[in-house]
Amino acid sequence: MEERKEARKARNEKIVNCLYQKPDAIFRLICFPWAGGGSTHFAKWGQKFHDLLEVHSIRLAGRETRTEEPFVTDINQAVDEIVCALLPLLQDKLFAFFGHSMGNYLAFMTARQLKEQYNLEPVHFFVSSATPPHSQPQIPDGKTLTEEEVKWSYMDFGGTPNCFLINSQEFQEYFLIFKADVHMLNTYNFDAPLKAVLSCDVTCIFGSEDKIISNLEGWKDITSGSFGMYHRQGGHFYLMEPSHEAFIQNHITKCLELSTISY
């Protein structure tokens, strides 16, 4: 029994990366990374928040400590796995979601499933750099993407240092991860929600020069809670600029502190 519990815990820790544990935290922030990304970038945010907020970052199969596992081919499968790994973390503390780009679709589906099946809901959903689920234009077929296409897209997106793009051998690995993530995204159903499926507050943050995203106001359709929008100067990866990252982190802290007043 104890062994099974330990095995489950180890498995969950592969899916949900927490680099800085905060036993006294009253909130958990669950971060959902962009396509082609690992969990480390957001897991490191844990160091930047005060002790009342513990940061966790989702790690999809096929990367980092999950390199041995095959990529997920269906987004529903990824969500089932994430929900299962998150459940033990979400029962005892308030939690919020933060997604960047593709991560928002996983975050949204995870929030929907948690609400429908477990009556659990984040206190706040922070959306960064993403078109609303029901406005998403056609996404190319992940399976047929070429390395050159992905390199050009990465240059456009602006979140990848040149050194990674120049080294072909190293890039091959990142290319395969991105291709798999886009293929997983191809299985996402971008239908308009018939009604607000969530009731938490939603904040949308984006770069003012981001050419990839559109119709951000559409995010308010997913919730009956309040909705706010903020922009910072920059493109799709505006959040790589330290002052913008600090803005996001301060905003998250402020919103979560305020949310305790209403709970």
Ligand X SMILES: CCCCCCCCCC(=O)SCCNC(=O)CCNC(=O)[C@H](O)C(C)(C)COP(=O)(O)OP(=O)(O)OC[C@H]1O[C@@H](n2cnc3c(N)ncnc32)[C@H](O)[C@@H]1OP(=O)(O)O
**So which residues are the catalytic ones?**
101, 236
Residue 153 in the binding site for ligand X (CB under 6 A)? yes
Q: Which two tokens stand for residue 70?
A: 């095959």
Candidates 144, 155, 164, 199: give the one binding ligand X (CB under 6 A): 164
Choices 1-9, 15-23, 77-85, 148-156; region in contact with ligand X by CB under 6 A: 148-156
Choices 8-16, 147-155, 188-196, 241-249; region in contact with ligand X by CB under 6 A: 147-155
- Residue 46 contacts by C-beta under 8 Å, 6 or more apart in sequence? 18, 19, 20, 22, 54, 55
Distances 75 to 82, 111, 200 between C-alpha atoms, Å:
11, 14, 23
Between 98 and 154, CB nearer to ligand X: 154
Residue 141 in the binding site for ligand X (CB under 6 A)? no
Q: Across-strand partners of 201?
A: 124
**String marking each residue 21-60 x if it binds ligand X according to CB under 6 A:** -------------xxxxx-xx-------------------
Q: What's the length of the chain? A: 263
For residue 122, the SS3 value is: coil
Between 27 and 238, CB nearer to ligand X: 238
Q: Are 23 and 51 in contact (CB under 8 A)?
A: no
Q: Across-strand partners of 99?
A: 32, 127
The footprint of ligand X (CB under 6 A) covers 34-38, 40-41, 101-102, 139-140, 145, 149-150, 153-154, 157, 159-161, 164, 174, 182, 185, 240
